[in-house]
Amino acid sequence: MNLIIDVGNTYIKLAVYSKNKLIKRLSANQDEFEKSIQDIFKSYTIDKGIVSSVGRLPKSAINALKKSTALLELNHNTKVPFKNLYATPKTLGVDRIALVSASVEQFPKNNVLIIDAGSCITYDFVNSKNEYLGGAISPGIRLRYKALHNFTANLPLLAKRQPKILIGNSTKTSIHSGVVFGIIKEIEGIVNEYETKYSDLTVILTGGDAKFLSKRLKSSIFANSNFLLEGLNYILEYNSK
């Protein structure tokens, strides 16, 4: 079985796959990580694993994993199933590499735009020739709420909430409207720009805020919260051939 570890900015996502089938998925913070790994190894026979880290995972944890299983650390040198035309491949986030790999596996020879709504919102485009061209990075939902609070004197820090009205009639409802509708219109606008150039575009929405945002986005966008994990599992299998 395969152990998949995705170290994000907020949480560490763990998954166990049997070939392409998801067997187990959980999230942990840094303090819970070691116990979560121990529980997985007690419950499953792990043959190999992959770790993708955009956050912080102690080197000691990596070394401990290497003693327990064959471990692949994803980086810009890892063999991937697409041609990387990014101008600065060394700076391309491993999470974006995994997302593009998932798109190539699940939508071969398609023009695909992957939108990952997490701490940041990333847009990644791979064309029908399996060429990764790049995309865009913008602030995510929580980052926008925090920015309004941190860089102003009087605006409160709010938890995300679906706005009930477009025209906010208080400071709180105005913030919710501005943040959420602002992101929705950003996503729709970017998708429309891509569609003018690629009429057969497939759009994937993933990430921690995908479910929250998908309620207000048009149905032609496919929401898949496991897309990054699926990409990591595919990279692991691709490098095991």
Q: Show which residues are catalytic.
A: 95
Dist. CA 240–CA 235, nearest whole Å: 9
**Residues near 197 by Cβ (< 8 Å), separated by ≥ 6?**
none
**CA Rg value for the chain:** 19
Dist. CA 144–CA 119, nearest whole Å: 10
Of 2, 1, 4, residue with least CA distance to 226:
4
Order across the sheet with 222-223: list the strands. Answer: 83-84, 131-139, 120-126, 112-117, 202-206, 222-223
> Where on the phi/psi map is residue 106: left (φ > 0), alpha (ψ -120 to 50), or beta?
alpha
Say if residues 125 and 102 touch (Cβ distance below 8 Å).
Answer: no
Query: Locate tokens 């700076």: which residue?
Result: 91
Burial class (CB in 10 A: 0-12, 13-18, 19+), 13: buried
